[in-house]
Amino acid sequence: MSTMGDGTRAVRAGLPEPEQYGPALPGPVFAAHFHLSGEPVGPYTYGRDTNPTWTHLERAIGELEAPGEDVSTTVFASGMAAITAVLLSQVRTGDTVVLPDDGYQALPLVREQLTAFGVEVRTAPTGGDAQLALLEGAKLLWIESPSNPGLDVCDIRRLVAAAHDAGALVAVDNTLATPIGQRPLELGADFSVASDTKGMTGHGDILLGHVTCRDPGPAADVRRWRKVVGAIPGPMETWLAHRSLATLQLRVDRQCTTALALAEYLAERAEVTGLRYPGLPTDPSYGVAVRQMRRFGSVVSFELADRETAERFLAALRLVDDATSFGGVRSTAERRGRWGGDAVPEGFIRFSVGAEDPEDLLADVGRALDEAVQRAGGVSDGSARATLLP
Ligand SMILES: *Cc1c(COP(=O)(O)O)cnc(C)c1O
């Protein structure tokens, strides 16, 4: 498996041995409990412990995270369920955790919760490998690279080496890149964690998460945590996720190619500032990104002059939904500042590139920018926005 291409691996990932008259990917198994007589030994006993539909998806994700290696993956009901499973199964009162201060917007809530449990939390930005300075005495280093929504990149190998020297485990939130964009375990991390709600499943219709580990000890902790808190994915979501993985390489390649084209286009537009895309050779992250990423992701971020311009831009887009989340086949964009959780300027846009034809998407973006800028100063009562809504 380790020598095949990403597309081949994606379409075959996790499929069971062919069975005469059976389907390639067996359907979802809906079962709260399984027939079980005598001694209660697995593999399938009770639906909060184990489910064959999870097993297939977990094998598939493992093959993508670490081709040809024996790793352990645990799927969860959401990305946050996966993230908290790692943190809460690994740390105890009195431990120290290092988080990024520019990561996913729920991390500050996680920080509050950890602090309430008597865990010391230190934070530093992703860019410039600033977390390096905080590792002394830490139990766990949490990395998010590229970071969401700022798209900064840190040198994962370098941070892992320093963390391991300091006796800390390392988890990487790999949501933005997906395993075909970046393989954290190969870069030395102990946990590769993701919200599969995003690019991994890619259709904006399910929530899911996973944790993959090489070391059986932490893997067992994470699996046990899922059983304790019951943060389990439904069989239908799990099966849909597995079905979606078959097109992972097709989707992500298309998204990455168009994302780069969009970034190149936006770089030429005078009204756009603060443009970030790790795959753009002029991006501050590019040098580190090319050394550790295989694909640069579907998200492009940039700033427009102010909140009003950003809102006019979003309202003028016809092929791009004004919605949160990212990584889906339909492009979405949002003014990130509306959530209040991220330290971003009012005109900051997070743009998730879908699978549309690049020329259609770029034309739509260009026209929306023209409209947003032309109307600047002209209309102030919000009526422009209302009439532009589809
Ligand atoms: C969306 C996201 C999460 C949370 O995932 P859910 O599936 O919404 O729980 C965590 N980390 C990153 C980087 C994300 O983008």
- The residue whose CA is least distant from atom 7 of ligand 1 is 79
The per-residue DSSP string of 83-105 comes to: HHHHHHHH--TT-EEEEESSS-T
Give the Cα separation of 6 and 12 in Å (integer): 10
198 CB less than 6 Å from ligand 1? yes
Give alpha helix (H) positions in the chain.
6-12, 52-65, 79-90, 107-116, 156-165, 216-229, 235-245, 248-267, 286-292, 307-316, 358-374, 383-388
The per-residue DSSP string of 261-308 comes to: HHHHHHHT-TT-EEEE-TTSTTSTTHHHHHHH-SS--SEEEEE-SSHH
Give the Cα separation of 248 and 88 in Å (integer): 30
Choosing from 148, 208, 342 the residue with most ligand 1 atoms within 8 A of its CB, the one to mutate for a pocket test is: 148
- The residue whose CA is least distant from atom 5 of ligand 1 is 79
79 CB less than 6 Å from ligand 1? yes
Give the Cα separation of 42 and 238 in Å (integer): 20
Catalytic center residues:
48, 104, 173, 198
Give the Cα separation of 55 and 47 in Å (integer): 12
Choosing from 83, 86, 192, 197 the residue with most ligand 1 atoms within 8 A of its CB, the one to mutate for a pocket test is: 197
Atom of ligand 1 nearest to the CA of 197: 7
374 pLDDT more than 90: no
Sheet of strand 321-322: strand arrangement: 273-276, 299-303, 348-352, 332-335, 321-322
Give the Cα separation of 300 and 181 in Å (integer): 15
197 CB less than 6 Å from ligand 1? yes
- The residue whose CA is least distant from atom 6 of ligand 1 is 79
Give the residue from 294, 286, 293, 303 showing the smallest Cα distance to 350: 303
Stated pTM of the model: 0.94
102 CB less than 6 Å from ligand 1? no
Q: Do residues 348 and 274 make contact, with C-beta atoms less than 8 angstroms apart?
A: yes
Give the Cα separation of 348 and 303 in Å (integer): 4
104 CB less than 6 Å from ligand 1? yes
The mean pLDDT of 40-66, rounded to a whole number, is 96
Number of C-beta neighbours around residue 145 at 10 A: 31
- Stated as kind and residue range, the H or E segment containing 211 is strand 209-213
Residue 42 pLDDT grade (very low, low, confident, very high; cuts 50, 70, 90): confident
Distances (CA, A) of 16 to 27, 58, 150, 214, 353: 12, 12, 40, 22, 33
Mean pLDDT of the chain: 94
**Antiparallel, parallel or unpaired: β 191-195 and 169-173:** parallel
Number of C-beta neighbours around residue 151 at 10 A: 28
65 CB less than 6 Å from ligand 1? no
Residue 384 pLDDT grade (very low, low, confident, very high; cuts 50, 70, 90): very low
The mean pLDDT of 48-65, rounded to a whole number, is 98
Atom of ligand 1 nearest to the CA of 208: 7
- Stated as kind and residue range, the H or E segment containing 124 is strand 120-124
- The residue whose CA is least distant from atom 1 of ligand 1 is 195
Choosing from 80, 182, 301 the residue with most ligand 1 atoms within 8 A of its CB, the one to mutate for a pocket test is: 80
The per-residue DSSP string of 169-188 comes to: EEEEE-TTT-TTT--TTTTT
Give the Cα separation of 383 and 343 in Å (integer): 29
Atom of ligand 1 nearest to the CA of 81: 9
Q: Determine if the peptide bond prior to 100 is cis (ω within 30°).
A: no
220's tokens: 């067992």
| Residues 115-157 pLDDT 10s | 999 999 999 999 999 999 999 999 999 999 999 999 999 999 9
The mean pLDDT of 340-361, rounded to a whole number, is 93
199 CB less than 6 Å from ligand 1? no
Residue 191 φ/ψ, nearest 5 degrees:
-130, 130
116's tokens: 């309430």
371 pLDDT more than 60: yes
Side-chain-facing half-sphere of 377: CA atoms under 13 Å: 3
Please report where in the chains the tokens 């990395």 appear, as a residue: 143
148 CB less than 6 Å from ligand 1? yes
C-alpha 104 to ligand 1 mean position (Å): 7
**Antiparallel, parallel or unpaired: β 191-195 and 209-213:** antiparallel
56 pLDDT more than 80: yes
C-alpha 45 to ligand 1 mean position (Å): 30
Number of C-beta neighbours around residue 50 at 10 A: 17
| Residues 184-218 pLDDT 10s | 999 999 999 999 999 999 999 999 999 999 999 99
Give the Cα separation of 238 and 232 in Å (integer): 10
The mean pLDDT of 60-86, rounded to a whole number, is 98
